């Protein structure tokens, strides 16, 4: 039995279609059509793209798309079609891993939860800032005595200079 790519190429040539005509009709790039016909699966980012392009190409050529996808899965080494990327040798990077896991998140309930946590965090931060500022305002005002006067700190006698007596009279000791 011939490979998937061989079947596609043989049917295209039987219908006397060029790669450009198929590309225009299916909106698949010329390079991807060539890769499908040659079995170069590494030209695609993921096996899902290979399957999708294969279905479009097969429908355009009026071939059985489901049978070709099943044969593709067999060629890639995963009969159920779920493993795909690891069996085909298509390399996956960190971005592919992250996007796969981010796509599984239910954002409809996670986003409101994260928003509520952010609002609560902002409220706690604002309350703590307000409390800290009000305590610092009281401390910076200094000790308050009676009618709102600020009492100057007491100084030691040795720290002050003697004030001369204006009358030049001797002082008593």
- Print burial letters for 157-166: b (CB count within 10 Å at least 16), e (below 16): eeeeeeeeee
Quote the pLDDT of residue 141: 58
Say how far apart CA 58 and CA 64 lie, in whole Å.
7
**Cβ count near 130 (within 10 Å):** 10
- Say how many Å lie between the first and final Cα of the chain, rounded: 127
* Residue 132, phi-psi category: left (phi > 0), alpha (psi -120 to 50), beta (remainder): alpha
The pLDDT value given to residue 85: 47
Question: What gap in Å lies between CA 23 and CA 44, rounded to an integer?
Answer: 16
Q: At what angle do helices 19-26 and 30-38 cross, to 10 degrees?
A: 110
From the CA atom positions of the chain, what is the Rg in Å? 41
| The predicted structure's pLDDT at residue 2 | 83
- pTM value is 0.47
DSSP class of 171: P
Q: What is the pLDDT, as a whole number, of residue 87?
A: 46
What are the pLDDT tens digits along the chain (173 aa)?
Answer: 688 899 999 999 999 999 999 999 999 999 999 999 998 888 888 888 899 999 999 999 999 989 999 998 888 876 544 444 444 455 667 887 888 788 888 888 889 999 999 999 999 999 998 888 776 666 665 555 445 555 555 555 565 666 666 666 666 66
Question: What is the residue whose two structure tokens read 């493993």?
Answer: 83
Q: Which residues contact 75 (CB under 8 A, 6 or more apart)?
A: 3, 4, 39
């Amino acid at each position: 039995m011939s490979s998937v790519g061989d079947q596609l190429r043989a049917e295209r040539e039987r219908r006397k279609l060029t790669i450009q005509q198929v590309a225009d009709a299916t909106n698949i790039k010329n390079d991807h059509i060539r890769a499908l016909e040659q079995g170069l699966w590494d030209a695609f980012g993921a096996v899902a793209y290979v399957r999708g392009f294969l279905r479009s190409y097969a429908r355009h050529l009026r071939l059985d798309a489901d049978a070709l996808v099943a044969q593709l899965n067999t060629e890639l080494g995963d009969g159920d079609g779920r493993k795909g990327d690891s069996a085909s040798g298509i390399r996956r990077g960190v971005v592919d891993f992250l996007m796969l896991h981010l796509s599984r998140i239910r954002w409809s309930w996670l986003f409101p939860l994260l928003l509520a946590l952010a609002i609560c965090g902002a409220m706690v931060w604002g309350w703590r800032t307000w409390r800290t500022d009000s305590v610092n305002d009281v401390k910076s005002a200094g000790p308050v005595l009676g009618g709102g006067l600020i009492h100057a700190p007491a100084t030691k006698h040795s720290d002050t200079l003697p004030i001369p007596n204006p009358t030049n009279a001797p002082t008593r000791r």
